[in-house]
Amino acid sequence: MNKLCYLQYMEQSLKNGEFMEFFVEGGRTQSGKPLAPKGGLLSVVVDAVASGITTPSAVTSKLLNNKGLFL
């Protein structure tokens, strides 16, 4: 799916008040060092709120690791 089509789909979903869940994650270098998270999907939500496409959104952070889920 091309980027513009995906962006329009997400904006329409936000207009409709649909819930979204996504995970802002970074990768790892070849040596295993963590890289900074990528904010592409998060920026779509922020831009939609800033341009008035949708009302302010609630953003929560979660940590899921081998010891459980932390909110």
For 50, which DSSP code? H
Say if CB 40 and CB 49 are below 8 A apart. Answer: no
Amino acid (one-letter) located at 38? K
The per-residue pLDDT for range 5-56, each reduced to its tens digit, is 888 888 888 888 888 877 777 778 888 887 877 777 788 888 888 888 887 7
> Domain residues of the chain, as ranges?
3-70
C-beta separation of 34 from 1 below 8 A: no
Choose between 68 and 37: higher pLDDT. 37
What does DSSP say about strands 63-65 and 68-70: parallel, antiparallel, or unpaired? antiparallel
Residues 6 or more apart in contact with residue 58 via CB below 8 angstroms: none
Q: Compute the distance between CA of residue 44 and CA of residue 10 in angstroms, rounded to an integer.
A: 8
